[in-house]
Amino acid sequence: MGGDVVLYVITGPPAAGKSSWIAARARPSDIVIDLDRITMALSGPGAPQWNQDKTLVKVAQRARFAAIDEAVKHREETDVYLIHTMPSPKAEARYLRLGARIVAVDPGRDVVMQRVRDMRQEGMVAVATRWYNQQAKAQRQTVTRQSSRSW
């Protein structure tokens, strides 16, 4: 294995290209944790690619949490790619403590919204909107304004 092994946490709105970003970089020996792939693996034959059945998603999320817990133990042996659309501040802090590189994949709001309308279930527009609103809020919070001095 050449170079440092890394835990990558890939964020971004639905249909941004997170899976494609990983596909362009990950090796067959790397670990990829993607809720969509886990859900598909747990779905019955003929299920839609982005199956959002509540019970199935609940089971897939539990499998994802177990996979994350185990994969981070092996992050010094192989690269780990984890898709986490909108990590909470607590989750992000944990990833950073683990030495993760957090990568945001975002081709732009117009592109994402068109892809969501074309390829995903109706509810994903709300998820994409929430992602963009969260990004805007985070940017507003990181801007510090200092009033000018009165001389």
**Banded pLDDT at 75 (limits 50, 70, 90):** confident
Q: For residues 127 and 13, is the Cβ–Cβ distance under 8 A?
A: yes
Q: Which of 37-51, 90-104, 113-127, 136-150 has the lowest mean pLDDT?
A: 136-150
Structural tokens at position 67: 């996979």
Helix (H) or strand (E) holding 134, with range, is helix 124-142
Terminal-residue alpha carbon distance, the chain: 60
Pairwise pLDDT comparison (123 vs 59), residue with the higher score: 59
**Banded pLDDT at 151 (limits 50, 70, 90):** very low
Instruction: Measure Cα distances from 146 to 33, 143, 149 in Å.
Output: 42, 10, 9
Q: What is the per-residue pLDDT for 103?
A: 96
The SS3 call for residue 104 is: strand
**Mean pLDDT along residues 68-96:** 94
- The conformation of residue 150, written as its DSSP 8-state character, comes to P
Residue 32 has pLDDT above 90, yes or no: yes
**Mean pLDDT along residues 35-51:** 87
Q: What is the per-residue pLDDT for 95?
A: 95
Q: Where are the alpha helices (DSSP H) in 11-123?
A: 18-23, 35-42, 54-71, 89-97, 109-119
Angstrom distance (rounded) from CA 78 to CA 81: 10
**Banded pLDDT at 141 (limits 50, 70, 90):** low
